[in-house]
Amino acid sequence: MSSAFKARTLVAEDEEFTLNLRKEVLENANIQVESVNGVAEAIELVGVFDSLTMIMGLNFGLAGPDGGRFIASY
């Protein structure tokens, strides 16, 4: 059984095309991806999904807090 390390990243983006494109590119690079459509969902996953990196849009419109404020709080 292989215990090879597999990178994980969290992607938060409210624009569906961009979210799917980022997810596809990362998965093709053999990275485990958890993707969400907004900052609220990203906040919920931060403590549960043990990722080394996060890719986040900065402008989520009126859908909740923006990515810049989220990043600044961590």
Predicted local distance difference test score (pLDDT) of residue 51: 80
DSSP characters over 22-74: HHHHHHHTT-EEEEESSHHHHHHHHTTS--SEEEE-S--TTSSS-HHHHHHH-
- Structure confidence by residue, pLDDT tens digits, 18-43: 999 999 999 999 999 999 988 778 88
- Structure confidence by residue, pLDDT tens digits, 50-69: 887 887 776 666 656 665 55
Kindly state the greatest CA–CA separation across the chain: 47
